[in-house]
Amino acid sequence: MINNTQRLEIIQTLIDNGVEIPCFDGVIIEPTVTIGKGTVIMPGTVLMGDVKIGEGCVIGPNSYITNSTVGNNTSLNNTQSYDSVIGSGVTAGPFVHIRPNCKIADNVHIGNFVEVKNSTVDAGSKLPHLLYVGDSDVGKNVNFGCGCVTVNYDGRNKSRTTVKDGAFIGCNTNLVAPVTVGENAFTAAGSTITEDVPDNSLAVARSRQTVKEDWVNVKKPYKRQHIK
């Protein structure tokens, strides 16, 4: 770990080379890091190990990047990345965790509270919010709804999920690996998918809704007094 004198020397050298660091608070950059011109490093950002960041990026605030490559014009807000490759034009954060062995292609959007692990995400795909994508191969222009999970571990083995180009994964879908969702296929919200979905198909895997009228008045499940 570098000391404060070294930290300030590195920051000054980067500024002299065209990197913008408007506030030094919490910024730690090891000498092994390379950063392109016009990139902005926001407060609280830590860059460790073999890190290469392109031009025109915004890194931070509060991002931690180690042993990763980042392309041009990418924004990583409150994002952690370990041993991964992130393309150009990517937006990620806040609160994104990119675990080792990920390849995030150009123009991918990763929203808040998303974790990606040992996965590839191809160009133009969207992982907007509240997702876990692990041990997966996601194609181009795929859209994940909120709350989806790739179920990659059965307690003994890790298995992979494949989502092909143009697929739409509905909110709260569980993709139980090993499983493949075909090109331009849809999964209905709330589905648990355990079998392959063919191209251009809709997969629905949920129980039919049952409504029991007046159940609350009969069972009185609440501690408070029920008022009609």
**Residues near 212 by beta carbon (within 8 Å), at least 6 away in sequence:** none
Kindly report whether the peptide bond that precedes residue 22 is cis, defined as omega within 30 degrees of 0: no
Token pair listed for 87: 């393309």
109 catalytic? Reply is no
Catalytic residue among 97, 109, 129, 226: 129
Q: Which amino acid is at 115?
A: E
Task: Indicate the pairing of strand 126-127 with strand 109-110.
Answer: parallel
| Residues catalogued as catalytic | 129
